[in-house]
Structure 1
Amino acid sequence: MARIVIVGAGVGGLATAARLATTGHHVTLLEQSDTVGGKLGRYVHDTPAGPFHFDTGPSLLTLPQVFHDLFETTGAKLDEYLDPVPLDPIVRHVFPPGGPTLDSCADSDEFAARIAAAFGERAAAQWRRLWRQAERVWTASERDVLRRRIDSPRDLAMLAWRLGDLAAIGPGRTLRGLGRAHLSDPRLRMLLDRYATYAGTDPRRAPAALVAVPYAELTFGGWYLRGGLSTLADALLTRCLDLGVVVRTGVRVTRIDAAGGRVHGVRLAGASAPVPADVVVSNVDALTLYRDLLPTPRRLAALTDRSLAGFVLLLGVRGDSGLAHHTVFFPDAYDDEFDAVFGAPGRGVRARPAPDPTVFVTVAADETVRPAGHEAWFVLVNAARQGTAAGAVDWRRPGLAEAYADRILDVLAARGVDVRDRLLFREIRTPADLGTATGTPGGAIYGTTGGLLRPPNRGPVQGLWLVGGSCHPGGGLPMVALSAQIVADSIGPAW
């Protein structure tokens, strides 16, 4: 039996703890916040009409089979803890000019029929051809990448992909290039481009392999958890406690002891003695790990590519808007948004708040999260990360957040959804707020990355492992859960 300390009780830390406890290890989970869940956050706003409950992180559960496997492996059933609700549409896309719409769904034939009805048979035929390629990319990725350790670029190069799979993935091609090669309708290209933001990147730079992301969502479906996505963190915490995991919240790890090239334990703020450990699993951002907990400057150079961040409004709205669970309102000029969010520091162009951004609105038809006669709106726009460098925005600048919140409400009104006279309240969450709440540098949604190849799960010293969205296989709830599986399988059972 190994003494295992997990630093961070996000979904990755919770899932790893449950898996390792199931195999007989003594597991201690340490979290600096007073609650677990990490970026799977929640917020409650009380009003005289009643409480509004918001998910402040993910709003969609994809690849549900990953979570069914997680619960079954730890001796339970997902449906015993959670109430998954399939969504149709998964996302309603509202395109300019004039607002034509397209609803995505988990039936490929039905979705192609919806494309044909909206944009014509030629557009639908092109989508079907792209979808056949996306299937091959997904199959190769799921088989050879997402469920195994990738410790180096050499490991990735040595994977036994068939030549046909490599051609489908299109090494060197961007997601934007893939869309232009297959889709003539600019609105379908826009729809495909948006999936680059799922990985926190610009579609003009994102690898074509990310076509696997829409394939997974639109093949296996998108799901909502009644009561909010944050109930997943509650369920995982319950599994951990039932399995004997020691969970300590409100404690901050300041250092991982690794003398002699192997871990010995962790040090806590305000504590005189370290917490001993044979194995340490880090569920904090990779940059934070190497820079603050286990300084390894030689590894920091590869961790400079941070994902985009998000500017969020939490709105209490009177009445019924009639919106789908998820609605995306696209701008007239999509590239202008990415020019603003990422800037061009090499050309002296600073990042800035996008004046006409894509607006993503989540409105759950769930009576448990809002008072009767009201709606709880989660509004998200892509944003530059927090900072003062050319590729960032100082969201703490006085007046900036309030002014940009006003701008987003004006943009929604211009796109046909004006709620300014129906607001009961609004709360603002900037990238600076996310960075403070979760310890993520700059408030980057998907953490620090080295591009497509993220930091490996095996740490630089013996007994150290990385889990979560900033390491392999990537960000998003199912990828984080798969990283937990990779780490737990690598550590192995106690017997």
Structure 2
Amino acid sequence: MRGDGGARDGAGRVVVIGAGVGGLAAAARLAALGHRVTVLEAADAIGGKLGTYERDGYVFDTGPSLVTMPQVFEDLFDATGAPLADAVDLERLDVACRYTFPDGTGVDLPGRIEEIPAALDAALGAGTGEQWAAFTRDAAAIWDVAEQPFLRSPIGRGTLAAMSSDTANLTTIAPWLSLRAFGARRLHDPRLRAMLDRYATYTGSDPRRAPSALATVPYAEQAFGSWYVRGGLRALGAAIARRARDRGAEIRTGVRVASIEHDGARVTGVVTAGGERVAADVVVANADASQVYGELLAGAGARRRLRALRRATPSLAGFVLLLALEGLPASLRERAAHHRVLFPRDYDDEFDAVFGVGRYGRWHGGGGPRPVDDPTVYVTAPQDAAIVPGGSAGLTRGEGAWFVLVNAPRHDPARGADWDAPGLAEAYGRRILDVMARRGLDVRPYVRWVETRSPADLERSVLAPGGAIYGTSSNKSASAFLRPANRGPVRGLYLVGGSSHPGGGLPLVTLSAEITAGLIGPA
């Protein structure tokens, strides 16, 4: 094997811990490079946070609900043997998202960037389109500066130092500004500022503290489009797994790794919870970095990395409702759109609540993080015959498999929200349905059943501590660029996935796999 520093030291035996999208993408790339790859997944199914729930003919994506930056997946499939178009059916959304604001106004934001200014002017008033266009130009400039060194390359403090020494780049990125402050230079309409604030939550962060560099998130979504995978996003995870297997990788589910073994100089393999030792020259951990350094890896290097992680602010979590609907009238189906966001009157209270600062609501009167009294509600309502009972006829009858998400504090009984408290999750789920109704999307009469997923459930199902599915937040100026490095503290150990560089979300975890495969190199 010639990667990992260039030394030839074995036959390229690679163990990937975890079959999330990052792990599967790494397995596919490394298998294509000639390594003998074994993926060990603790759950009984692949996909990680790209989960699926099926019941009574309803099918739900329980994690990401859209694909952005499709070129990242095209690169993955091209590099491993055949085009993406041969593997999944990607559909670009004409309306990326329907936003509804507390003053009763709203906008259907087009899925093509060149159409957005006119849509904003028509829905929110003359001049709003140019405000957003001016912001987008600023964000595009950051993208041009940051994409290659920060999203497609290994990261370290040296990268930041080099960027900081270039005055022009530093001025473009404006790291001294929060995302909200950066947007406020161009966005004078409070509704546009609310739209921008929401993008901080894509990294589990607070827009008042997250860095200006996160302006690239809405830019990328709008420049490259919002896409849906016919049959649900589970099809994308399945396609990556097929590609990995086609290139020779073995994927084993129901196998939990208990420890990563090393001899003090480099990794030697892993030991499973059942006591099996699987030898390896390289271990790629597609697991939360705090779990890798707190539970799986022993030694001083792991302890140093863990201390650094504990100094960071954990990301917010999510509270999910899976709504099986029947008999929806056409008026409600039309008002739903594929993606919809219902904004509250006080967005700051939401961030105060989930991060445990500022004012305190009535759900947890003692202070600290608590469920949001009046949350932003994100609804995904695909019009897809493959995910409802009866197929096309079911859609005609008004059946729907809706995914509803609100931001929530981490599950942390000692210092904040105890999502396992009797009755809390169920009561909060009913509250969210009431909030939706007040904001014009009342589906309560059409609910056949509802499945609730709290941050405590997420912690158990995807092994994200506290249900903080984005790992650490980007609530400090450099934190977006200083997630745990892909190269671990022991030779031969690598990290991929949402808690490591370059961050969370389907395209970024897939880029983490590309970066890591590049570090390891061919067998």
After TM superposition, the score normalised by the length of structure 2 is 0.90
Tell me, yes or no, if the aligned pair for 2:352 and 2:358 is still in contact at 8 Å.
Answer: no
Which structure 2 residues correspond to residues 454-465 of structure 1 after superposition, within 5 A? 454-465=483-494
3-state SS of paired residue (1:408): helix
Tell me, yes or no, if the aligned pair for 1:395 and 1:431 is still in contact at 8 Å.
Answer: yes
2:207 aligned to which of 186, 203, 207: 203
Tell me, yes or no, if the aligned pair for 1:62 and 1:216 is still in contact at 8 Å.
Answer: yes
Equivalent position of 1:138 in the other structure:
143
Distance 1:106 1:418 in 2: 26
Q: More displaced, 37-46 or 312-321?
A: 312-321
Distance 2:412 2:291 in 1: 15
Structure 2 residue 443 is matched with structure 1 residue 436: no
Structure 2 residue 127 is matched with structure 1 residue 122: yes
Fraction of identical pairs, as percent: 54
Tell me, yes or no, if the aligned pair for 1:286 and 1:448 is still in contact at 8 Å.
Answer: no
Distance 1:345 1:396 in 2: 24
Distance 2:236 2:455 in 1: 23
Tell me, yes or no, if the aligned pair for 2:40 and 2:256 is still in contact at 8 Å.
Answer: yes
Tell me, yes or no, if the aligned pair for 2:257 and 2:271 is still in contact at 8 Å.
Answer: yes
What count of residue pairs does the alignment treat as equivalent? 486
Equivalent position of 2:440 in the other structure:
416
1:75 aligned to which of 81, 89, 93: 81
Which structure 2 residues correspond to residues 31-46 of structure 1 after superposition, within 5 A? 31-46=41-56
Distance 2:414 2:149 in 1: 37
Aligned residue type for 2:373: P
Which structure 2 residues correspond to residues 373-412 of structure 1 after superposition, within 5 A? 373=397, 374-390=399-415, 392-412=416-436
Equivalent position of 1:66 in the other structure:
72
Aligned residue type for 2:507: P
Equivalent position of 2:3 in the other structure:
none
Aligned residue type for 1:283: N
Equivalent position of 1:487 in the other structure:
516
* Shift, 1:175, TM fit: 0.6
* Shift, 1:204, TM fit: 0.6
* Shift, 1:126, TM fit: 1.9
CA offsets, 1:148-205, max 9 Å, x none? Answer: 001x323322248853332121111101111222211000000000000001101111
Equivalent position of 2:450 in the other structure:
426
CA offsets, 1:80-139, max 9 Å, x none? Answer: 1100011121111111112x1112224333100111112233222222221111111111
Distance 2:15 2:149 in 1: 29
Equivalent position of 2:343 in the other structure:
330
Structure 2 residue 361 is matched with structure 1 residue 363: no
Distance 1:209 1:143 in 2: 14
Equivalent position of 1:261 in the other structure:
265
Tell me, yes or no, if the aligned pair for 1:282 and 1:289 is still in contact at 8 Å.
Answer: yes
Tell me, yes or no, if the aligned pair for 1:340 and 1:352 is still in contact at 8 Å.
Answer: yes
Tell me, yes or no, if the aligned pair for 2:164 and 2:170 is still in contact at 8 Å.
Answer: no
Equivalent position of 1:212 in the other structure:
216
After TM superposition, the score normalised by the length of structure 1 is 0.95
Distance 2:250 2:114 in 1: 48
1:108 aligned to which of 91, 99, 113: 113
CA 1:247/1:399 → structure 2, altered by over 3 Å: closer, same or farther? same
1:233 aligned to which of 237, 242, 250: 237
Structure 2 residue 287 is matched with structure 1 residue 277: no
Equivalent position of 1:153 in the other structure:
157
Which structure 2 residues correspond to residues 158-169 of structure 1 after superposition, within 5 A? 158-159=162-163, 163-169=167-173
Distance 1:359 1:197 in 2: 12
CA 1:428/1:161 → structure 2, altered by over 3 Å: closer, same or farther? farther
3-state SS of paired residue (1:72): helix
Equivalent position of 1:57 in the other structure:
63
CA offsets, 1:38-90, max 9 Å, x none? Answer: 000000011xxxx0000000001000000011001000111111000111211
2:314 aligned to which of 306, 324, 328: 306
Q: Which runs of 5+ in 1 are unaligned?
A: none
3-state SS of paired residue (2:434): helix
Equivalent position of 2:5 in the other structure:
none
CA offsets, 1:261-289, max 9 Å, x none? Answer: 21000001122x41100010000000000
Aligned residue type for 1:22: A
Q: Which runs of 5+ in 2 are unaligned?
A: 1-10, 361-365
Distance 2:461 2:358 in 1: 27
Distance 1:11 1:395 in 2: 27
CA RMSD of aligned residues (A): 1.6
Q: More displaced, 404-413 or 438-447?
A: 438-447
Distance 1:62 1:21 in 2: 25
Distance 1:448 1:188 in 2: 26
* Shift, 1:306, TM fit: 1.4
Structure 2 residue 189 is matched with structure 1 residue 185: yes
CA 1:281/1:346 → structure 2, altered by over 3 Å: closer, same or farther? farther
